[in-house]
Structure 1
Amino acid sequence: MAELETRELEYFVVLAEELHFGRAAARLLIAQPALSKAIRRVESRLRVTLLERSSRHVALTPAGQALVDHGRHALNAVSAAVDKARRAGDRQVPLRLVIKPGGDAGLLSGILAAYARQPDARQVDILFGGATDRADFVRDGRADVALLYKPFDDLTGLDHETLAVEGRVAILPPGHRLASRDELTLADLAQETFPRWKGVRWTGAPEGNEGPEVTDAAEVLQMIRLGRTVAILPRSLARPPHPDLVYRPVTDAPTSELVIAWAQEDSRLLVAAFITAATDAATEANKATEANEADAKVEGPAGTLREVPAG
């Protein structure tokens, strides 16, 4: 930042958030005149007006809005770089994994066990994120790796490896017109009301009626029980099944992928070791699942094959 010091950028971002010199100076623990002087110095150096000032209010100019939008990302990147440098040099620092509750497709125990067998394994701290913010944990350095669902999570700036590919199920309230079916298609559900996932642009559900906004699976299940909506979820997120709801496979719904994700520029050995453990554990779990599905096909009394429901 040849034309702008990190400290000056922090001053401006805080001021942009407060839009009040006194409150911003108090947050920054500096005197108000010093803050005013620093902002004028930045405007002079950049040759733009960042703030419209009057005796009653402070407002951002278009140039100021652009600087604060990109400035936050720049400050987060600097903070993440410092944090990663410190963590890379400290052998006692744990690895941080962010997931959403229940969002591991049953693989987490196996992944942790596989990683613990690595010669240089560290402690793994589990962080819990929301439905849509876990990728941000990795991008801004709060976490080293994340379990995410593709295509629903935004993987911009991240590399990833697929751990599991799974179908999707419809979750219906009891007494629903489709509850008697053994399986469904997207066309069957075309006129239903679906929840709006906060921060998720695409859910793979058909374009039905717009339902209530939700942030997690618990809210979705509550809305379904109330008869306000139905939902289509990856199979693993629908487990364990709620006894008061009906679950039916959607045969033509797009599959979802559980992935292990990390920052593209992150080449640290501790991250690489965890990714290797995750992919190895997932491979073993997938083999076990295939074997169980094969065992579920048993000979019936007449010598024919019949399907025995798994799980």
Structure 2
Amino acid sequence: MMDLTLRDLEYVEMIAQERSITRAAARLHMAQPALSQSLQRIERRLGVRLFERTSRHLAPTPAGDVLAAEARDLLASVQQAIVRTRVAGGLPEVLRVHVSESSLITPRRILAAARAHVPGAAIHQTTLPRRDVAENLLNGELTLAVAGSIRRAGLQSVKVRDERIGVLVGERHPLAGVDVVGPAQLADHPILSIDPEMSSWDAWVTSYLDDHGVTARWSKEVVFGLSTGSDILHDADTVMLTLESVGRDHLDGLVWRPMSPARSVPWFLTYREDSLRDSPAVAAVLRVVRRLAHDQGWTP
């Protein structure tokens, strides 16, 4: 019998995901030489090469693809077994929920509704780099994600609402005095950049402005989080493209103005497809969120 541990499977799955020993080691919180040695040991035990390596490239072999896919499913099954065991022992089911921007009103209302109406679950909120979210949902490290749509086999995204886009500026900013802001009016102002490791927002803004022949001029500062970003906006020059719900929050010294032509971005609740079968709490959260979206007028 081949002697592979769950940790070995985690190594293979992470290397396949990252296509890099160095990046995989960093995410596994271990030294790169130790991970390389572990991979060599796994390949010797299996008698097959799992990855093709060059000085600039690493990719799974057909055997590596098979083991990485099986490892992902097995690791997720182990996570589900732990969940079911804890629940059978009388402990609450832990739902690990990624939220792309925890300060915004939409995810806050979703989480508040889930906590109020699914009392048998313990909701652990986190925010991960966007490139890690899909894999963590698939391998069971995450249960749900409140963010944009995540398109991966094995995952399901349910739209919760659309939110109109607008501009957030300081009250002394020239755009604070207009009713509606057009893309061309942003050409003369730096746009606050959102950390691309955590969010795809800058890419969305770039695409939106490109559609209207405007080149984004980004701020020198890069931030993540509305509270941090709002401090910079008091310079009366920088602008921040953000969601309509932000304009309804109390933001001292800032004003929100809608964009025209109007554009909206969607919020989704994403989960692993088989979690509806394995987790009563996930199914309950989905029902609660659908009801919330209907009651709030977010969906028909």
Q: TM-score range, shorter-chain basis? A: 0.5 to 0.7
Q: CA deviation at 1:194?
A: 1.7
Query: d(CA) in 2 for partners of 1:226 and 1:175?
Result: 8
Q: Which residue of 2 aligns with 1:255?
A: 264
Q: CA deviation at 1:230?
A: 0.9
Deviations 1:92-137 (A, max 9, x none): 3424133232234252366236633xxxx52231313157368344
Structure-2 change in CA distance of 1:217 and 1:110 (3 Å): closer
Is residue 170–residue 234 contact of structure 2 (8 Å, CA) maintained in 1?
yes
Equivalences for residues 174-193 of structure 1 within 5 A: 174-193=171-190
Which of 1 and 2 has greater Rg? 1
Q: Which residue of 2 aligns with 1:171?
A: 168
Query: d(CA) in 2 for partners of 1:80 and 1:195?
Result: 38
Q: Which residue of 2 aligns with 1:112?
A: 114
Query: d(CA) in 1 for partners of 2:262 and 2:187?
Result: 12
Structure-2 change in CA distance of 1:37 and 1:182 (3 Å): closer
Matching residue's letter, 1:66: A
Q: CA deviation at 1:188?
A: 2.6
Q: CA deviation at 1:62?
A: 6.2
Structure-2 change in CA distance of 1:174 and 1:67 (3 Å): same
Structure-2 change in CA distance of 1:139 and 1:36 (3 Å): closer
Is residue 49–residue 63 contact of structure 1 (8 Å, CA) maintained in 2?
no
Is residue 164–residue 282 contact of structure 1 (8 Å, CA) maintained in 2?
yes
Q: Does 1:209 align with 2:217?
A: yes
Structure 1 length normalisation: TM-score?
Answer: 0.66
Q: Does 1:284 align with 2:295?
A: yes
Matching residue's letter, 2:21: A
SS at match of 1:125: strand
SS at match of 2:289: helix
Is residue 51–residue 58 contact of structure 2 (8 Å, CA) maintained in 1?
no
SS at match of 2:275: coil
Q: Does 1:16 align with 2:21?
A: yes
Q: CA deviation at 1:138?
A: 2.6
Across the two proteins, how many residue pairs are aligned to each other? 264
> Structure 1: which 5+ runs fail to align?
51-59, 291-311
Q: CA deviation at 1:276?
A: 0.8
Q: Does 1:83 align with 2:74?
A: no
Consecutive aligned runs of 4 or more in structure 1 exceeding 6 Å deviation = 11-15, 24-28, 68-74
Q: CA deviation at 1:143?
A: 2.5
Q: Which residue of 2 aligns with 1:98?
A: 98
Matching residue's letter, 1:138: L
Equivalences for residues 216-227 of structure 1 within 5 A: 216-227=225-236
Query: d(CA) in 2 for partners of 1:107 and 1:101?
Result: 10
Deviations 1:190-234 (A, max 9, x none): 443223331313236523212233322233223322356311111
Query: d(CA) in 2 for partners of 1:231 and 1:115?
Result: 35
Query: d(CA) in 2 for partners of 1:74 and 1:216?
Result: 37
Q: CA deviation at 1:88?
A: 3.5
Identity, in percent, stands at: 16
Query: d(CA) in 1 for partners of 2:248 and 2:275?
Result: 33
Is residue 164–residue 264 contact of structure 2 (8 Å, CA) maintained in 1?
yes
Q: Which residue of 1 aligns with 2:212?
A: none
SS at match of 1:286: coil
- Cα RMSD between the aligned structures? 4.3
Structure-2 change in CA distance of 1:218 and 1:78 (3 Å): farther
Structure-2 change in CA distance of 1:78 and 1:93 (3 Å): farther
Is residue 165–residue 264 contact of structure 2 (8 Å, CA) maintained in 1?
yes
Query: d(CA) in 1 for partners of 2:253 and 2:172?
Result: 10
Deviations 1:248-279 (A, max 9, x none): 12232421222221123433333122101110
> Structure 2: which 5+ runs fail to align?
210-214
Matching residue's letter, 2:296: A
